Amino acid sequence: MEALQQYIEYSQEVKQAKEDKRPIVALESTIISHGMPYPQNVEMANNVEQIIRDNGAVPATIAIMDGRIKIGLEKAQLETLAKSKDVAKVSRRDLAEIIATRKIGATTVATTMICAELAGIAFFVTGGIGGVHKGAEQTMDISADLDELAKTEVTVVCAGAKSILDLPKTMEYLETKGVPVIGFQTTELPAFFTRESGVKLNSTAESVEEIAKIHLVKQDLGLGGGIVVANPIPHEHALAKEYIESIIDEAVAEADAQGIQGKDSTPFLLSKIVEKTEGKSLEANIKLVENNAILGAKIAVAFNQL
Ligand code: PSU
Ligand code: MN
């Protein structure tokens, strides 16, 4: 434990929240460094933190800096992550190396879950999780996010997953690994930019209290592993299905043609989609993260009251 704690550093705000046993919500940083362009990325990060505070919880954006896992970032650190071209995308595989070499690293969903669990934070808000990529039967490209969900006890609020992924295969994988996927007031897996995907869910929750209770029981049972809460993008910000699907197909084809693979695949596709939609996808992306922040904060508050 001692050996571990030397690598963790809390912001003043998060340290205080832990002492006061207030609800805390973790936020990832790859969405900032590799998921959105500057300066919208840093604006989004600051807004999302404020939304979490406005809904009664304390935000803890997580990143790697100065050989430490930072739990909670100062404004200048958020700016660095958003602006610098030298930020590593840190998945479970990369975590020890980026700490040891004192590089700046942005944490993916997988790594944010690891760090949140180390910090005793049970709830985490993001945009979309990684999953099984289209063509994975050839490439074996399956995001480390899925295996992390299988073993790390953090509830992740997202807007489902983008259809850059094979959503039915992603759901099969999560089922095999024993990860609950709970639709918030929906019976269908949302597909990030759209509220529907055609993929039916096994679980639906109507209230934040229900989700908090499921999290508690799962923890009490010692099952381990996380929960995905799938929260559809608000109607008014959703994109038309045919429009966004055709753009995603083009982006996937370009990635294939250019031989983009490994950790570069998701960032490549995300930026292609922003380019091709002339920013419409970015606007939707920001709105859905904000919407997830409201829900994640409310779940953390409800859990604290159990
Ligand atoms: N999906 C998005 N936006 C993102 C990501 C995924 O819509 O920013 C980021 C997250 O950090 C996620 C990571 O954990 O990409 C997954 O990368 P990979 O597919 O290489 O595992
Ligand atoms: Mn991958």
Ligand whose nearest atom lies closest to the CA of 146 = 1
CA–CA–CA angle 108, 146, 230 (5° rounding): 85
Q: Are strands 123-125 and 155-158 parallel, antiparallel or unpaired?
A: parallel
Is 213 marked active-site? no
Instruction: List pLDDT tens digits, range 53-92.
Output: 999 999 999 999 999 999 999 999 999 999 999 999 999 9
Answer whether the bond into residue 39 is a cis peptide, omega within 30°. yes
Ligand 1-lining residues (CB < 6 angstroms): 28, 30-31, 35, 108-109, 127-128, 130, 143-145, 162, 192, 263, 266, 270
User: Tell me, what DSSP letter sits at residue 202?
Assistant: S
Q: pLDDT confidence of 277, banded at 50, 70, 90?
A: very high
Q: How far is residue 1 from each of residues 19, 114, 118, 147, measured CA to CA in Å?
A: 18, 15, 10, 24
Catalytic residue among 28, 49, 117, 290: 28
Instruction: List pLDDT tens digits, range 288-304.
Output: 999 999 999 999 999 99
| Distance in angstroms between the alpha carbons of the first and the last residue of the chain | 28
- Which superfamily is assigned to 1-304 in CATH? Indigoidine synthase domain (3.40.1790.10)
Is 275 marked active-site? no
Instruction: List pLDDT tens digits, range 128-177.
Output: 999 999 999 999 999 999 999 999 999 999 999 998 999 999 999 999 99
Query: Ligand 1 centroid vs 20 CA: distance in angstroms?
Result: 32
Q: Which of 27, 28, 29, 31 to mutate to test the pocket of ligand 1 (most atoms within 8 A of CB)?
A: 31
Distance of CA 46 to the CA centre of its chain: 16
Ligand whose nearest atom lies closest to the CA of 273 = 1
CA atoms within 13 A on the CB side of 230: 29
pLDDT (0 to 100) of residue 2: 74
Catalytic residue among 134, 162, 272, 280: 162
Q: Are strands 105-107 and 58-65 parallel, antiparallel or unpaired?
A: antiparallel
Residue 49 has pLDDT above 70, yes or no: yes
59, β-bridge pairs: 25
pLDDT (0 to 100) of residue 47: 98
Instruction: List pLDDT tens digits, range 221-263.
Output: 999 999 999 999 999 999 999 999 999 999 999 999 999 999 9
Q: Are strands 58-65 and 68-71 parallel, antiparallel or unpaired?
A: antiparallel
Tokens of 103: 């590089």
The residue extents of the domains of the chain are 1-304
Question: Quick one: average pLDDT of 93-100?
Answer: 98
pLDDT (0 to 100) of residue 1: 57
Question: Quick one: average pLDDT of 252-276?
Answer: 95
Instruction: List pLDDT tens digits, range 1-41.
Output: 578 999 999 999 999 999 999 999 999 999 999 999 999 99
Q: What is the Cα–Cα distance from 215 to 111, expressed in whole angstroms?
A: 20
Instruction: List pLDDT tens digits, range 75-84.
Output: 999 999 999 9
Query: Ligand 2 centroid vs 265 CA: distance in angstroms?
Result: 7
